[in-house]
Amino acid sequence: MGKTRFTVAVVGGGPAGLATALGLGKAGADVLLAAPPHRPPAGNGPDIRTAALFAGSIELLKNLGAWDLVAPHSAPIRAIRIIDDTGALLRAPEVLFSAAEVGRDAFGWNVPNGALVSALLAAAAAPGSQVTVQDTAGIAEVAIGPEAATLTSREGATFEARLVAGADGRNSICRRAAGIPTRTWRYAQAAVVAMFSHARPHHDVSTEFHRPAGPFTTVPLPSLRSSLVWVEQPDEAQRLAALDDTAFRRAIEERLQGLLGSVGEVGARAMFPLSGLTADAFGRNRVALVGEAGHVIPPIGAQGLNLGLRDAATLADCVAAALADGRDPGGADTLEAYSAGRRSDVTSRIATVDVLNRSLISGLLPIHLARGLGVVALKTIGPLRRFAIREGMQPSGALPALLLPDGARLIAERFRHPASRDSAA
């Protein structure tokens, strides 16, 4: 019989859950990760998504020991180009945001989800990670008690933890067990996702064509390859996803207007209906919500997983502080600090992405005018553009230790406690 009592149990082995487990390990907790091995989101086949991860997220991956494994599969994003392809009467000018403008080499990197999960799993298996990985078909039940939560797997095994990190996606059973209500909404849009090769170099530039049904975005991958997120009305997205490779290739070339030359191989496609979700609280009743268990955001502006990774880093700070002070890592004050720490970042990103998306799909002239003027302002007013670039990458203000260079040492120095203290093991 293996170990069954832990400081923290993380439920869900997507990128947010894995990063949370590793981060909590760095914060001095001993961690159970209960997850089905590499299970992709329901109904989409293998996860062919990539995520554009900004500088703080890359620092986190370095601090967790995962970056060296994922870097060879990833490409830097040194600039973002926005092209108004709405066909509106008042067409906004083309804008190029360059990382060099804010003194950076790159905004971040485009990272394939599959490679990211593999790299994080390898880091969890490395000696000294403090993470015990428990393969399971799923956690079937989470029972909250006064001192600890009890998790029961579908195989009938039980585990106890002071804190449960619910990283079990948008239909989170951890969230339900904690009784945390959500607000959900839908958009009449879906994203078609694919990776493709092309004849002309992308020069490490991501390009967003703003179109009436939503953005059409290419993001660099290593060498002459890019990933595509093509947002359309659901019927059109369905049609595109079902095209044969030749017809899909042609459709991409047409939309790109020659930008990347002729399109070569197109890989598998997946479709994601656009929706949103936000939890009323990110922590309550011994459960902290991370990643899509706490917030779902449309794939516009590359915010979703960046938020999830900031959840992981913030929770690590909160738990490390609780352990160092001899407080309960799953207690109300730890969870209130975590929830409050995540509120404004999540709320502001959801609002910004929502406004941007609705301004594109609105048929109203005044809204097109406002969006056009906004783009002109961003193009012509340097300080405004630099502010928008910095805010787009991560919120201003103090950052959790694991988002900073050398964060693993920082969190250990600031918060490490004697190994035996507060461990439920």
Residues that bind ligand FAD (CB under 6 A): 11-17, 34-36, 39, 41, 49, 51-52, 113, 138-139, 167-169, 173, 191, 193, 229, 272, 291-292, 299, 302-306, 308
Which residue, 32 or 52, is less far from ligand FAD as judged by CB?
A: 52
Which residue, 51 or 121, is less far from ligand FAD as judged by CB?
A: 51
Is the CB of residue 4 less than 8 Å from the CB of residue 22? Answer: no
Question: Smallest gap, in angstroms, from Cβ of residue 366 to ligand FAD?
Answer: 30
Which residue, 117 or 260, is less far from ligand FAD as judged by CB?
A: 117
DSSP 279-306: ES-SEETTEEE-GGGTEE--SSSS-HHH
As beta bridge partners, residue 211 has 214
Which residue, 88 or 252, is less far from ligand FAD as judged by CB?
A: 252
Question: Smallest gap, in angstroms, from Cβ of residue 417 to ligand FAD?
Answer: 28
Question: Smallest gap, in angstroms, from Cβ of residue 272 to ligand FAD?
Answer: 4
Which residue, 65 or 299, is less far from ligand FAD as judged by CB?
A: 299
Cα–Cα distance for residue pair 365/312, rounded to 1 Å: 41
Cα–Cα distance for residue pair 416/152, rounded to 1 Å: 30
Question: Smallest gap, in angstroms, from Cβ of residue 31 to ligand FAD?
Answer: 14
| Length in residues, the chain | 425
Question: Smallest gap, in angstroms, from Cβ of residue 347 to ligand FAD?
Answer: 16
Measured in degrees and rounded to the nearest 5, phi and psi for residue 242 equal -95, -5
Cα–Cα distance for residue pair 199/197, rounded to 1 Å: 7
Give strand ranges (E) for 213-260. Answer: 214-221, 225-232
Tokens of 118: 């593999």
Cα–Cα distance for residue pair 158/407, rounded to 1 Å: 33
Question: Smallest gap, in angstroms, from Cβ of residue 101 to ligand FAD?
Answer: 21
Question: Smallest gap, in angstroms, from Cβ of residue 55 to ligand FAD?
Answer: 13
Half-sphere exposure at residue 277, Cβ-oriented, CA atoms within 13 angstroms: 20
Which residue, 29 or 305, is less far from ligand FAD as judged by CB?
A: 305
Which residue, 25 or 291, is less far from ligand FAD as judged by CB?
A: 291
Percent composition of the chain: helix, strand, coil (DSSP 3-state, to 5):
40, 30, 30
Residue written as token pair 């990985």: 133
Measured in degrees and rounded to the nearest 5, phi and psi for residue 102 equal -110, 25
Measured in degrees and rounded to the nearest 5, phi and psi for residue 223 equal 55, -140
Question: Smallest gap, in angstroms, from Cβ of residue 296 to ligand FAD?
Answer: 8
Which residue, 139 or 263, is less far from ligand FAD as judged by CB?
A: 139
Radius of gyration of the chain (CA): 22
Sign of CA dihedral 337, 339, 345, 348: negative
